[in-house]
Amino acid sequence: MSGDHRSAPAAAQVRHVEALLEARGLLAPGEIDERIDALAAGGTPAHGAALVARAWVDPAFRERLLADGNAAIAELGFSMGGALQEQKLTVVANDEDEHHVIVCTLCSCYPIALLGPSPGWYKSEAYRSRVVREPRAVLAGFGLELPASTRITVWDASAESRYMVLPLRPEGTADVTEDELAGLVTRKGLIGTAAV
């Protein structure tokens, strides 16, 4: 199956709307493609990992990140922009009593700028529908067995809102540098389907 969908009916509709926006001066020719390319090229899980590591070593930054994700990530030079509008970023922190996991039940909304392109399983209907109904079973399928006493909260992303998980800092990392800590953080940890 080809990945080229330029002849699909939806693609023709998108091109038509884009042409109308360009004709009205609301978009420059090619602007949507440029923004999508810039967002995809600049997004990497290393950005999210850097934010997590900073939050682990700087309690004041952690508080700012949890209070206003967009403002806090700007401190490290990151942005949720790159699309036609900036999405609201909410960062949710795991602790001993609660574990967070993110999903987009309607499609695959996801903080690309901080986590890079979404993995295939995140976009799958199986993950999107099941993690809301059976989060503990889905996490177990990823190899993450949580104690029965741990509450699991599922956050559903939307076109306007994106979520990122702030994982628990691993034990025994008190003397580890911020860069080394960032190297421990994975995309699955930022989504909540793995521990760090």
List active site positions.
104, 107-109
Using only C-alpha atoms, the chain has a radius of gyration, in whole angstroms, of 18
Helices 59-67 and 45-57, axial angle in degrees (round to 10)? 130
48 CA to centre of own chain:
8
Conformation bin of residue 183: beta by default, left when phi > 0, alpha when psi is -120 to 50:
alpha
Q: Would you say 187 and 48 are in contact if contact means Cβ atoms under 8 Å apart? A: yes
- d(C-alpha 21, C-alpha 10), whole Å: 17
Q: Which of 168, 57, 37, 164 is nearest to 102 (CA)?
A: 164
101 CA to centre of own chain:
11
- d(C-alpha 66, C-alpha 164), whole Å: 10
Q: Would you say 91 and 69 are in contact if contact means Cβ atoms under 8 Å apart? A: yes
Q: Would you say 160 and 88 are in contact if contact means Cβ atoms under 8 Å apart? A: yes
